[in-house]
Amino acid sequence: MSQGDLFGVVTPQLRRGEKAVWTERPAPMARAKSRLKIFLFGIPFFGFAIFWTATASQSGDPIFPLFGIPFLVIGAGLLLAPVWSYWEAKNWLIYAITDQRILIIRVFPRHKVESFEPGDITRLERTTSADGSGNVIFAEEERRGKNGTYMVPRGFYGVPEAMRVEEAVMKLRNSGARG
């Protein structure tokens, strides 16, 4: 998708008088690498699911091995997380910074637009590779799990010219402080 096509996806999401300052698609491989921990967890999970299902099938009971199917599906999903993230970044995910907010747009499997106002920019952290690409984290989201709450970093992953993107986010954050 060309830069013009990216603006074509972003433009319908803009408010009256709002202007897109920057749009980009994440680097697919960087996005896939961000799911490496999920993949690594999936290896023993899927392996044990195979072992358990195979062992249960030896029991002689035709129903007992069926209980392993959900765990096989979950394990396969964990193993495929980097592949899904790669395809999502390559085809369906668009990042944008406007003069009023930050947008993360997913166009598949359902159209979803996440919007971050200047006041939502609570953290600013950049990691950069030798070629200047990198990640720009601008917020944290609280999530609840079995063991309580935990924070999930939110931001742009695998963007070219990460320093330029960080500067645009900083400018947006500062404009919200004045406004």
Q: What is the mean pLDDT of residues 88-100?
A: 93
Tell me the pLDDT of the chain averaged across its residues: 91
Calpha distance 173→82 (Å, rounded):
31
pLDDT digits (tens, 9 = 90+) for 143-177: 888 888 989 899 999 898 999 999 999 999 998 76
The pLDDT of residue 4: 58
Kindly give the pairing relationship between strand 134-145 and strand 148-159: antiparallel
Asked if 102 and 172 touch (Cβ cutoff 8 Å), the reply is yes
CATH class, range 3-178: mainly beta
Helices (H), 36-161: 36-57, 69-87
pLDDT at residue 2 tops 80: no
Asked whether the whole model's pTM tops 0.85, one would answer: no
* DSSP state for residue 120 in the 8-state scheme: G
How far apart CA 54 and CA 71 sit, in angstroms, is 12
SS3 state of residue 91: helix
Question: What pLDDT, in 10s, does the model give residues 53-64?
Answer: 999 999 888 898
